[in-house]
Amino acid sequence: MKLKATREYHSTPISPKLASNFIELGYGLQVEGMASEMFFNRSFEPFYPYRLINKLWFDLLDDENDLSSRCETDWRVFDWYHSSYEHNAWFAFPGTAGYQEIRDDSTFIINDSPYADVHIELTGDDHHGTHAMKVNNRSDAAGGLAQDGKYCYPGVNYIFTGDVKFEDGNGTITVSLYKEGTVSDPVCSACVGAVGKQYTNVRAILTVPEEGRYTFVLTTPSRSVVICDNFSLKPDDEFCGFKKNAVEAGRYVGPKVIRWPGGCFASFYDWRSGTGKNRIPSYSYFWGGLQYNDIGTDELAAYAEAVGGESMVCVNMFHPMKRFYDYVPADLLDCDPNDRTLKAGLHGRDLIKFADKDEGAKNAAAWVEYCNGGPDTEGGRARIANGREKPYNIKYWEMDNEIHRWFMPEEYAEECVKYSKTMKAVDPTIKIGMISYCFGYESLKKMIEIAGKHIDFLADRGIEERDLEYKLGLIGEYNKKNGTSIRYCNTEWLPLNGADVYNMVPRSQTKKNKCYLFSKWSYALDAAATMMMWQRHGDAIDFINYNNLANTHSQSVIETPKEGAFVTAPGMMMHRFSNTEAYRTIVLEDYHANREDPVQIQLSINKDGTALVLNVLDRVEEDGNIDIDVSQYSVKDGEYKGVILTGDSLLSMNTLNDKQVAEHDASISVKDGHIIADVRKLSFAEYIINIS
């Protein structure tokens, strides 16, 4: 490939926020794997089945076109599986649990010990949530309640807390860690202190002599009945509810903006359920399963800060249709929202609290005040009481997610105006995002005319350049006419269409789960092509949220098994774009890369104009070569350094113990004003070429 660099630029400088990410609660066990909390179902609640949409996105059905087909219940068969996807059962001790399959009827409770007369069962109790665990030790020896899957390290204190009371009997209650799979000789134990007939909050510290998997056991006296609730086990090196290595891995990838708490989850989220000291677990309305609420506003905002980014909050916009439906076809949106005979998607709950539009705007404004308010505000005082004195100063607020499920286009735009006025009355510096992907272009034009003076960015989807250019043109025309400065953002994107035959094809052709594809090198290479496209459009594009950050059955940039954390192939690519020196893209004569091109070249200049930044992407399984004329710039002959990311095949991937995608030092030659280089197959490279 022969090319010639010009002195022209494609657009304005590149936004430094293109490498951003997305966290969705309730989907994929994202935060559960990142969180420092080590118990599964720590509040002893009945486990709600995952909803069908969850199973479809995990691609668990044998045939996604046949909703009655078999659902895979043993997740260990998938290559994305690791220990943070475990659903560890509570079991009567002494005993063992083993792997728990994920079925609709799974309780994740093993009621009876095979070795002693010990029985455990859920009991109705509103102390913390709706249930507690009753431990009935009818034996003549100590017995109790246990859970496997605690991965521990020496030198770390594991802090146990819980609420415990005697219903019958008395005596000493201890907590211990056993080597997983054993029932004798604990490696460490601690007494929790005196416990009476009323709930007592107890605490103990456990340490282990060596790294490995352990079983937690709470031991009760013989001939006793003990009620347990609100358990917690955390390492003392946690950060604001997250594991230390989850923060370190996130910091390496370096997302500039993190969108939370969803996604689809956000559309039914009560933000107050994730703040304060006494958070009650609840049902995850959209995805199914149990929502623990241990990770909420304070934790997510603090995590974004810790990894060097900022937050973008996706707001639940209340609507009468949300009371009963998670999706209503467009032709039924003007029907009675209380008519449950509509052929629409019922979510199975009566969510009247999300039905009043005016209350929704007030609720969103209260959230802004909680995040950004000072000590002279009610929200600011509540945040301070919860341990955070300094405001988070969250700038970006997106108006819901996939709003075509409940809103008509002009109705939604009018609601954006209402929300913007109400929220900016609390903090006029925030930026409001209006969704731009749900309706056609004509509807979008009308929506911008209605809401344009009250919004600050379009929250888009998709990765097609023609669609992007149309929307940038629409924004530019409106901004010029009205003196506004609306920008384009993409709040959730996937590189679905790629350079290979493996991406998003029916399982009947590949015999592979589609999640299998998300973690592979082919997917990362496709992501690079899309990121380069966005770079060419300058800072009219503000931030781009790659979907997702962590633990989404491979659709992520980091994974956090209990044994550690690792960066996926796409994560390594996003790290490179997060740390690029590319500042402004340069026009190459008679060349414009298309996102679908298997081989792409991009030349940029750095911020202070002292170096060229060359990106070379090769998505084919053949080596190549390039010759780029850079004589327009004063470049000395010689070798220039860079880095190259490589994988041996399109299906290379990273796991905790097998890193198949690697980053290497690399170099490139310049001679007589030409960059001459071999291009390695299946690679992405970045070189820095100094300008004299």
Distance between CA 333 and CA 347 in Å, rounded?
16
Domain harbouring 157, CATH code: 2.60.120.260
Structural domain containing residue 168: 88-235
Same domain, 406 and 435: yes
**Do the domain assignments include residue 55?**
no
**Do the domain assignments include residue 105?**
yes
Same domain, 114 and 173: yes
Distance between CA 689 and CA 667 in Å, rounded?
10
**Closest residue by Cα to residue 253 from 304, 301, 314, 313:** 304
**Closest residue by Cα to residue 283 from 354, 347, 231:** 347
**Do the domain assignments include residue 40?**
no
Task: For residue 665, give the amino acid letter.
Answer: D
Number of separate domains in the chain: 3
Euclidean distance between the first and the last CA atom of the chain, given in angstroms as a whole number: 26
Global pTM reads 0.96
Helix (H, G, I), strand (E, B) or coil at 117: coil
What is the separation of C-alpha 74 from the centre of its chain, rounded to a whole number of angstroms? 23
**Do the domain assignments include residue 33?**
no
Same domain, 193 and 302: no
**Do the domain assignments include residue 56?**
no
Distance between CA 406 and CA 334 in Å, rounded?
10
**Do the domain assignments include residue 667?**
yes
Same domain, 399 and 295: yes
Same domain, 231 and 303: no
Q: According to the model, what pLDDT value does residue 506 have? A: 55
Same domain, 208 and 250: no
Task: For residue 42, give the amino acid letter.
Answer: R
Q: According to the model, what pLDDT value does residue 217 have? A: 98
Domain harbouring 652, CATH code: 2.60.40.1180
Task: For residue 618, give the amino acid letter.
Answer: D
- Residue 370 · residue 304 · CB < 8 Å: no
Residues 6+ apart with CB under 8 A from 201: 161, 162, 163
Q: Which of 220, 235, 250 is the last residue of a domain?
A: 235
Identify the sign of the CA torsion 356, 358, 361, 363.
negative
Residues 6+ apart with CB under 8 A from 562: 83, 84, 86, 149, 151, 213
Same domain, 520 and 508: yes
Please state the three-class secondary structure of 621-671 as a single string. CCCEEEEEECCCCCCCCEEEEEEEEEECCCCCCECCCCECEEEEEEEEEEE
543 forms bridges with which residues in the sheet? Answer: 17
Same domain, 605 and 560: no
5 forms bridges with which residues in the sheet? Answer: 588
Mean pLDDT by 10 residues, the chain (692 residues): 95 97 94 97 96 91 86 91 97 96 97 97 96 97 96 98 97 97 96 96 98 98 97 97 98 98 97 95 94 96 98 98 97 96 96 98 98 98 97 98 98 98 98 97 98 98 94 97 98 70 54 77 93 96 96 93 97 97 97 90 97 96 93 95 95 94 95 93 97 90
Same domain, 268 and 373: yes
- Residue 225 · residue 195 · CB < 8 Å: no
- Residue 585 · residue 603 · CB < 8 Å: yes
Helix (H, G, I), strand (E, B) or coil at 207: coil
Same domain, 469 and 401: yes
Residue 350: CB atoms within 10 A of its CB come to 10
Domain harbouring 445, CATH code: 3.20.20.80
Lateral strand order in the sheet of 200-206? 118-124, 131-137, 224-235, 158-168, 200-206
Same domain, 213 and 337: no
Distance between CA 507 and CA 516 in Å, rounded?
10
Q: Which of 578, 603, 635 is the last residue of a domain?
A: 578
**Do the domain assignments include residue 229?**
yes
Same domain, 231 and 242: no
Q: According to the model, what pLDDT value does residue 500 have? A: 44
**Do the domain assignments include residue 171?**
yes
Q: Which of 547, 578, 609 is the last residue of a domain?
A: 578
Distance between CA 355 and CA 324 in Å, rounded?
9
